[in-house]
């Protein structure tokens, strides 16, 4: 798939078709949390576009357009964002919008009829800024001799039915095993969410164990939403990696320290990029999320036919 520079869309009536109120999909849109604001939920009069809320902080108008990807052309329903809040604007960081890769009928993958896709996210911080790569269709695959961790994913019901859910038997940090009850052991893989969020019981266990291991090396956090921080120079030397241990015979997935800790204060301090799910809006406050920061320099392959996600360490600048 080629890199495409997003440009301002100037719709013409013959090209751009607004989806009317009576337009329906066979399944709900994306099953993302809905902000309960009547003025963004109500439908317009017959024949006019319907407004939707895709997640807390994003609202827009649903449209349909003909897109070309290389030699493939398809009519795709897409949303024009009309409202965002400050949190969403910060998360987008200048990007034009979001691509849906989930189970929903309106995700890009579903609309293209693809059975596999993969992406490789370049590093957030570093001297060289380069684009990440997304492959959809037969071109999606892993390569090289680096070990691959493959895990079978589950499809949960509403409100998580558009997410890829992995069953976890345990989590460890360094040499310490986190004491987490079984019902809390499951994670969602989400490339849009930047952080890792842990359900309350798991988050408290993680904070306690990392604090025990780092002890006097911890420093004051420069922000009020990240608890644990160390001197930037100490991350690679002291910060322990996290390991996710999967059920059903899946291999362990190691998240290295550089994918857990981010530079703050002009890199003099680094903080662990993990938050408590209890701070999120429902229903995301009830689950654990592996966000995009944890997936840096990992080639992640989604095999939709075999319900499997594979992780492979990679230099995403070269893919």
Helix (H) or strand (E) holding 89: helix 86-92
pLDDT tops 80 at residue 270: yes
CA dist 301 and 93 (Å) reads 25
CA dist 300 and 46 (Å) reads 42
pLDDT tops 50 at residue 14: no
For the segment 27-53, what is each residue's pLDDT rounded down to a tens digit? 333 333 333 333 323 333 233 444 444
- Burial readout 9-22 (b: 16 or more C-beta within 10 A, e: otherwise): eeeeeeeeebbeee
pLDDT tops 50 at residue 140: yes
Q: Where are the beta strands (DSSP E) in 159-217?
A: 164-173, 176-177, 186-189, 196-198
Angle made by CA atoms 170, 176, 179, in degrees to the nearest 5: 45
pLDDT tops 60 at residue 148: yes
CA dist 313 and 171 (Å) reads 19
CA dist 276 and 58 (Å) reads 22
Mean pLDDT of the chain: 79
Lookup result for tokens 């009547």: 38
Contact yes or no for 208/127 (Cβ under 8 A): no
Q: What is the model's pLDDT at position 27?
A: 38
Q: What is the model's pLDDT at position 87?
A: 62
Contact yes or no for 104/28 (Cβ under 8 A): yes
Q: What is the model's pLDDT at position 13?
A: 38
Sequence-separated (6 or more) residues with CB below 8 Å from residue 307? 152, 153, 154, 155
CATH topology of domain 120-318: Cathepsin D, subunit A; domain 1 (2.40.70)
Q: How many CA atoms lie within 13 A of 47 on its CB side?
A: 0
**Among 195, 173, 146, 160, CA closest to 300:** 146
Q: Delimit the CATH 2.40.70.10 region(s) of the chain.
A: 120-318
Model confidence at 249, pLDDT cuts 50, 70, 90, reads: low
pLDDT tops 50 at residue 238: yes
CA dist 289 and 165 (Å) reads 9
For the segment 173-210, what is each residue's pLDDT rounded down to a tens digit? 998 999 988 766 789 998 888 889 999 999 999 999 99
Q: What is the model's pLDDT at position 19?
A: 44
DSSP state letter for 266:
G
What are the φ/ψ torsions at residue 280 (nearest 5 degrees)?
A: -90, 165
Angle made by CA atoms 116, 255, 190, in degrees to the nearest 5: 45
For the segment 283-313, what is each residue's pLDDT rounded down to a tens digit? 888 889 999 999 999 999 999 999 999 999 9
- Burial readout 76-87 (b: 16 or more C-beta within 10 A, e: otherwise): ebbbeeeebeee
Angle made by CA atoms 260, 318, 316, in degrees to the nearest 5: 20
pLDDT tops 60 at residue 4: no
Lookup result for tokens 């036919």: 305
């Amino acid at each position: 798939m080629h890199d495409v520079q997003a440009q301002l869309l100037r719709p013409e009536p013959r090209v751009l078709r607004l989806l009317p109120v009576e337009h329906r999909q066979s399944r709900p849109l994306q099953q993302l949390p809905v902000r309960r604001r009547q003025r963004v939920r109500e439908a317009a009069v017959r024949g006019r576009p319907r407004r939707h809320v895709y997640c807390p902080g994003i609202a827009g108008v649903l449209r349909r357009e003909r897109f070309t990807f290389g030699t493939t052309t398809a009519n795709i329903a897409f949303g024009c964002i009309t409202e965002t809040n400050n949190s969403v604007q910060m998360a987008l960081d200048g990007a034009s919008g979001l691509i849906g890769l989930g189970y929903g009928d309106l995700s890009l993958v579903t609309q293209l009829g693809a059975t596999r896709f993969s992406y490789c996210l370049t590093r957030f911080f570093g001297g060289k800024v380069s684009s990440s790569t997304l492959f959809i269709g037969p071109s999606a695959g892993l390569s090289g001799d680096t070990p691959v961790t493959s895990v079978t994913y589950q499809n949960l019901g509403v409100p998580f039915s558009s997410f890829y859910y992995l069953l976890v038997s345990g989590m460890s940090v360094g040499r310490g095993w986190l004491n987490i009850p079984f019902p809390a052991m499951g994670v969602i893989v989400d490339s849009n969410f930047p952080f890792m969020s842990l359900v309350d019981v798991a988050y408290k266990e993680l904070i306690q164990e990392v604090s025990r291991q780092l002890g006097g090396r911890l420093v004051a956090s420069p922000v009020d939403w990240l608890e644990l921080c160390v001197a930037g120079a100490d991350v690679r030397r002291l910060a322990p990696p996290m390991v996710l241990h999967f059920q059903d015979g899946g291999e362990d997935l190691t998240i290295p320290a550089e994918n857990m800790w981010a530079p703050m204060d002009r890199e003099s301090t680094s903080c662990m990029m993990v938050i408590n799910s209890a701070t999120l809006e429902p229903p995301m406050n009830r689950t654990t999320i592996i966000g995009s920061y944890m997936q840096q320099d990992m080639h992640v392959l989604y095999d939709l036919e075999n319900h499997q996600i594979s992780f492979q360490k990679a230099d995403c600048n070269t893919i």
